[in-house]
């Protein structure tokens, strides 16, 4: 399960050194920009060609709700209360389907960092205690 997380992805060393993206999915990256990328269907994908020919992804956008309301985006992630409130204010709370997504998230701490928070053992302990490991 964790190999599907980007932090655990298996990459060919030769491709990484060349700056080449590799993968085995139904899409290929055809363009990268500072704030996004464009994917196109990989027609030779072993599982068959994808149903959608092209996907444009924007990584960050301060006007994500406005662009969703203006039909510039087909879907948006709602991962904070502020975004949810903006959707409600726009009058979409009854028509938009919100769905929880189960995920595994990796958070790493660079112990070689010069940050005073990381150097302080008690802060690292507090971070450890803050994680509800049962959930």
The pLDDT mean for the chain works out to: 85
Residue 55, CA atoms < 13 Å, CB-side half-sphere = 14
Cβ atoms 1, 104 nearer than 8 A: yes
| Token reading at 75 | 């879907």
b/e burial code for range 104-132 (CB count within 10 A of at least 16 → b): eeeeeeeeeeeeeeeeeeeeeeeeeeeee
- In the block, tokens 């490991």 appear at 133
Report long-range pairs for 50-59 (Cβ below 8 Å, ≥24 apart). Answer: 50/26, 55/27, 59/35
**Residue 8: predicted pLDDT:** 67
pTM of the model: 0.59
| Token reading at 36 | 């996004």
Cα 120 to its chain centre, rounded Å, is 30
pLDDT digits (tens, 9 = 90+) for 97-131: 777 777 777 777 888 888 888 889 898 899 889 98
64 has a pLDDT exceeding 60 = yes
**Residue 81: predicted pLDDT:** 87
């Amino acid at each position: 399960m964790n190999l599907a997380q980007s932090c655990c992805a298996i990459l060919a060393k030769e491709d990484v050194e060349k700056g080449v993206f590799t993968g085995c999915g139904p899409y290929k990256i055809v363009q990268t920009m500072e704030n996004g990328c464009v994917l196109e269907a990989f027609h030779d994908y072993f599982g068959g060609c994808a149903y959608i020919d092209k996907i444009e992804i924007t990584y960050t956008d301060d006007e994500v709700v406005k662009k969703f309301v203006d039909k510039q985006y087909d879907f948006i992630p709602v991962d904070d209360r502020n975004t949810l409130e903006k959707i409600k204010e726009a009058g979409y709370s009854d028509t938009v389907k919100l769905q929880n997504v189960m995920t595994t998230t990796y958070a790493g701490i660079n112990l070689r960092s010069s940050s005073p928070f990381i150097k302080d053992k008690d802060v690292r302990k507090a971070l450890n205690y803050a994680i509800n490991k049962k959930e």
